[in-house]
Structure 1
């Protein structure tokens, strides 16, 4: 449902400044004004309501604790908060991928950005580069349509139903292909670690 009232960045800055002073009522106003958009953003990444709720909650805890570090000249308030919620959602996504047995990182835009991040230390870049290369190799071993399904779901943050719609295949097929592909990726990555 589109928001008919745009969020005023100046008002958000004011609420963030008040939250930095531990003003709980101002933080509540900030939450009420931004949580629907931030929840929708997290839901798009995670595809599951309960995970999006968790990412949103973790994000607002981080916003509350980090409000004093917000620097208006570096980012608009909504951009800053969206980045925090995105990072929390990606953390959940990585944890889920690990729980289903993928030991490497989720291969997403964050990994690619980190490879080219001028602030990354050489060690960070080396570790990310090694893991990204291993995952890219294992992805290349998947069958074409299976690789595309995994790519759409994990690289482009599409839900299973969005992948099914985009590829014009049943959602059950998408789920099966993702499950099988994750198993193959797990085996491939495990083999690479032993090598």
Structure 2
């Protein structure tokens, strides 16, 4: 559930799919870099990651004006905005996308489809049920089990990455 849930969490702050994806990508960079500092006795992993997304979302909103400036524009201090992504950040973002696609591909097709509809197409559970022509309870079960499976995949990937 981590990536789709965090994307939804970011969207609640920034109200833009594109901005939410940017926030989540930045958050995952921070999460991967600081995974060794996570203390399981203080909070659950999802709570910790959600907190990082919340702070990244707020950072994004504070800096949003900077992103709206055009190439020849300047901010109040006369500085030009730095909107270019460096090669390291681009490589990390690319790696995160590959990891996300790998984990999504590992799901049962029906679980993957309902998760994609719910989190990427931003449909409600009822809308997903209508789209899939399936009972609402079945859709909720597929989402819950799919998210649990994704969580396990991401946690095992994070543990392997630390070794």
TM superposition score normalised by structure 2: 0.50
Equivalent residue for 1:174, pick from 139, 151, 161: 139
For residue 138 of structure 1, what is the aligned residue in structure 2? 103
1:86 lines up with 2:12 in the alignment:
no
For residue 127 of structure 1, what is the aligned residue in structure 2? 92
Report the secondary structure of 1:120's partner residue.
coil
Q: State how 1:1-195 maps to structure 2 within 5 Å.
A: 55=12, 84-86=14-16, 90=20, 98-99=46-47, 119-195=84-160
Report the secondary structure of 1:148's partner residue.
helix
Alignment length (residue pairs): 102
Write out the 4+ residue segments of structure 1 that deviate beyond 6 Å after TM superposition: none
Report the secondary structure of 1:157's partner residue.
coil
**Structure number, greater radius of gyration:** 1
Which fold has the larger relative contact order, with Cα–Cα distance below 8 Å and residues 6 or more apart in sequence?
A: 2
Which structure 2 residue ranges, 5 or more long, are not aligned?
1-6, 28-44, 54-82
In 1, Cα distance between equivalents of 2:92 and 2:157: 14
Task: Report the aligned-residue RMSD.
Answer: 3.8
For residue 27 of structure 1, what is the aligned residue in structure 2? none
Which structure 1 residue ranges, 5 or more long, are not aligned?
1-44, 59-83, 106-117
